[in-house]
Amino acid sequence: MSIVRISHPTKRIKARITVPGSKSESNRLLILNALSGNKLTLENLSTARDTRQLVQILSEEKKTIDVLDAGTSMRFLTGYYCASNQHKIITGSERMKERPIGPLVSALSEIGFDVRYLDKEGFPPIEIVPVKFDRLEKEAFIEGNVSSQFITALLLIAPSLPNGLRLNFTTELTSRPYIEMTLQILQNSGVKYDWTDNVIEVKPHKLQTGAFSVGGDWSSASYWYSIAFLAEEAEIFLEGMKDDWTQGDQAIVDWMKRFGVITEFNSQGALLRKIKVEYPKLMKMSFKDNPDLAQTFAAMFAAKNIYATFNGVETLKIKETDRIEALRNELRKFNVHFDYSEMYEFYQLKGTVRVPEVPIKTYNDHRMAMSFAPLGLLGEIHIEDPQVVEKSYPTFWSDLVKAGFKISSIQ
């Protein structure tokens, strides 16, 4: 098992960093491009392992597809292979086989597609069998509070369906900004839709040629906001970050103002500067729309002894790992507790931080590694399996070195 040692000798940071292109935008555009017959021109695609893997899968003609631990690929490819009427088997890692796909399969079955479970009902692996498109229905129903990727998988194929799609949500939505991102990308491709109350209706549309440039990834940028906040001084320029709000995690720009990290945009990217402010020591945070930011804030608040209540984090239990349990285990090493309050139905973060001598486990989860890495500004910390960052931000460790962090392998 590999372990890295992380620290920062000066705690003063001045750096220029190129954040990877958005994995979320890239993977959506790759599916649309495949549905268009590869007529789109895509620029600044993410260098994340998940995106590189999706590019490879879409170029192959294998019957059995192994997405490993890429949840986005599992969901998006399920929709894509249905819409392109291909006979495929999709499988993945052991953890992937524990992550639900039932709501998506049910919705696809309502439309008229033939998707079969090959092991445990509601979970991968699955088999997709070709059907007659003239028998497809227009309407489907789906739970909105399990995964926005189920909804995106359906919306991406909607323009390719003979009658389009009328998608009804049977519960409240989680991660709404990710659905809005999908619709914005569709709209930029000429697709017309209507969203009224709990129903999205997408008209059929033949995708035309077009050029798309992927923006920098705001989920990845969030770790630099944490670094700026924890440093004594910070001036960090993030190249390629756009002020266009396509990505919901850009909410961190406003969220971090109260903690003294301000953002200035220009045509090349975003400048993060730390200023002195009296920041709150007690916070109430909802991550219903931005679950990928929860780990960033949990580690950052722990580092500054900020007591906080978190809600809207239920979907974290079905990610690459059970992120709630992972946070609970690793924060405890810092003498910080992250516990559920049954009475008030939220997670409470509290404790007086101390730097642990034992390594931080990452649970094969890229966001665990990157959320805890900024705590190297408190003192020397150790993180296991640093290679997990390949999933979304392959240059993360070398970028930390550019910012003055000392990083070395100890095992």
CATH superfamily to which 3-21+215-409 belongs: Enolpyruvate transferase domain (3.65.10.10)
Q: Cβ(240)–Cβ(19) under 8 Å? A: yes
Task: Report, as an integer, the average pLDDT of 131-150.
Answer: 94
pLDDT in tens, 11-63: 999 999 999 999 999 999 999 999 999 999 999 999 999 999 999 999 999 99
| pLDDT at site 244 | 79
Residue 292 known to be catalytic: yes
Q: Examine domains 3-21+215-409 and 23-213 and report if their fold is the same.
A: yes
Place of tokens 């090959």: 118
Domain ranges of the chain: 3-21+215-409, 23-213
- The catalytically annotated residue of 69, 249, 292, 399 is 292
For the domain covering 23-213, report its CATH number.
3.65.10.10
Closest CA to 363 of 391, 333, 322, 406: 322
Report the C-alpha gap between 268 and 146 in whole angstroms: 36
Task: Report, as an integer, the average pLDDT of 127-152.
Answer: 95
pLDDT at 318 > cutoff 90: no
Tokens of 214: 């992927």
| pLDDT at site 411 | 67
- Three-class DSSP category at 366: helix
Which pLDDT band holds residue 410 (cuts at 50, 70, 90)?
confident
Q: Cβ(161)–Cβ(83) under 8 Å? A: yes
- Give the bridge partners for 196, in sequence order: 199
Task: Report, as an integer, the average pLDDT of 72-93.
Answer: 97
Considering only 150-154, 184-188, 207-211, 230-234, which range has the smallest mean pLDDT?
207-211
| pLDDT at site 316 | 87
Report the C-alpha gap between 86 and 27 in whole angstroms: 19
Which residues, other chains included, contact 87 with Cβ-Cβ below 8 Å and sequence gap of 6+?
A: 63, 128, 129, 130
Closest CA to 167 of 187, 186, 190, 144: 144
Task: Report, as an integer, the average pLDDT of 119-135.
Answer: 96
- Three-class DSSP category at 141: strand
pLDDT at 134 > cutoff 70: yes
Average pLDDT of the chain to the nearest whole number:
95
